[in-house]
Amino acid sequence: MSIEVSPSGISNTLVVDKDAYLSGLLDRIMAAKSEGWLQDVRSSAADWVRQSRLPTTRDEEWRFADLSSLREVQFNNVETFLPNITPFVLPERNNNSLVFVNGVYAPELSSISGLPDGVVVSNLANLPGDYDERVRQYLAQASGDREVFTALNTAGMTDAAVVWVGKNVVVETPISLVFVADGERRMSLPRCLVVAESGSQVTLVEEYTNRREAEKEGVYFTNAVTEVWVEENAEVSHTRIECDGAEAFHVGKTAVMQARCSRYSCNAVSLGARFSRHNLEIFQTGEQTETTLNGLTMIKGKQLGDTHSAIALNHPHSVSRQLHKCIVGDRAHAVFNGKVFVPKLAQLTDATQLNRNLLLSSKARVDTKPQLEITADNVKCAHGATVSQLEDDEIFYLQSRGINANDARNLLINAFAAEIINQIPIPSLRETLTETVSRF
């Protein structure tokens, strides 16, 4: 609650915070100050947050995602320190990694070298030359910035990972962004901006992890936002890996702006966290775009994994392909809600969307809702969902070929996940994820 005071010193307005818990989070993150235009962006977002509230199961977009357990946790102030960890390095990207700890840049753990001219990979504070002014035109400008968790991230943004690929530049080596959460009851606000100028190509790997031993995992909250701007005839291959600790809360937003003739692909893999939510939003700003979205959620225990996607195809001659798979064990709960919007202007659109789910126990649960909203009359669109379990006949068949029951089960699960994992363009990452699936 706050009181506005008139120039005479007499209070004339009583302003009651709409959500006391949300305001408490906001007060903690706004304690860190910025300068210039960034502070203006943060203040504008903070004003929006103060008028908002955390969503509840009464909100349609959150009716299967109960945040009451998040409200029970009192997070400490955001602190930054370097844990004793080794960065998650793959052979294909050993010289191009930015590492952030609790949302803050860790230069000691980062390594950037060998990039072609016209490519900048940096944190916000160390941008070269005139890039500060360029970044200002894109950062926090993507559609969907008024969603409450996105606005909360913007309000607390003191730094960001920036990947800028110049016009007609092709980056051969994958660029890695690693966001490490460390510390009990900590809240981190990772931010990432990717700009691919016209005619450019880049492969990006974005990873969220705690990098700690299982017995030391604690409660923490990661609220991440990534903005991707794919300019005319540019191509971005984006892999997003979420493997937070078993007691963590993770809310992520990926907002993609696609210009004319651009190509964007996203391989999103969600493996960890007590509660995880990924909002993937594609906004088409020009015609003849190509969009490919592949997703894999693997959860067990009492985990909740929620994926919400929205593809707004506002121009003609676009192609969109989406396949999201969920593997759900024990008492875990998976949620998929995918929307494809095809208004009247988006004639000759070709869009498909499919959600496939594999339940590994009788207590596992999935809620799926693929949606098409079409007002154009000359399009080719389809959507669907399937829910299945491992078939006894399939396991028996493999056993009859000399494979034991446990290996047969793992073989079928691996085959189900392989369709997504095989789309990832980095061989060593595919191998790592395949081993993770085998241990599921």
Portion of the chain with pLDDT greater than 90, in percent: 74
pTM as predicted:
0.91
pLDDT per residue as tens digits for the range 55-68: 999 999 999 999 99
* Predicted confidence (pLDDT) at residue 9 exceeds the cutoff of 50: no
* Predicted confidence (pLDDT) at residue 293 exceeds the cutoff of 90: yes
Segment holding 134, helix H or strand E: helix 131-136
* Predicted confidence (pLDDT) at residue 71 exceeds the cutoff of 50: yes
Portion of the chain with pLDDT greater than 70, in percent: 90
pLDDT (average), residues 95-114:
87
Is residue 294 within 8 A of residue 267, CB to CB? The reply is yes
pLDDT per residue as tens digits for the range 334-353: 999 999 999 999 999 999 99
Q: How far apart, in whole angstroms, are the C-alpha atoms of residue 96 and residue 113?
A: 6
Q: What is the dihedral of CA 118, 122, 126, 129, to 10 degrees?
A: 10
Q: How far apart, in whole angstroms, are the C-alpha atoms of residue 299 and residue 323?
A: 18
pLDDT score, position 10: 38
Instruction: Return the bridge partners of 367, or none.
Output: 335
pLDDT score, position 131: 92
pLDDT score, position 86: 53
* Predicted confidence (pLDDT) at residue 95 exceeds the cutoff of 90: no
* Predicted confidence (pLDDT) at residue 91 exceeds the cutoff of 80: no
pLDDT (average), residues 384-412:
91
pLDDT (average), residues 197-218:
81
pLDDT (average), residues 412-432:
94
Segment holding 392, helix H or strand E: helix 392-399
Torsions phi, psi of 103, nearest 5?
85, 0
Better pLDDT: 19 or 327? 327
Computed over every residue of the chain, the mean pLDDT equals 89
pLDDT score, position 85: 53
Better pLDDT: 93 or 217? 217
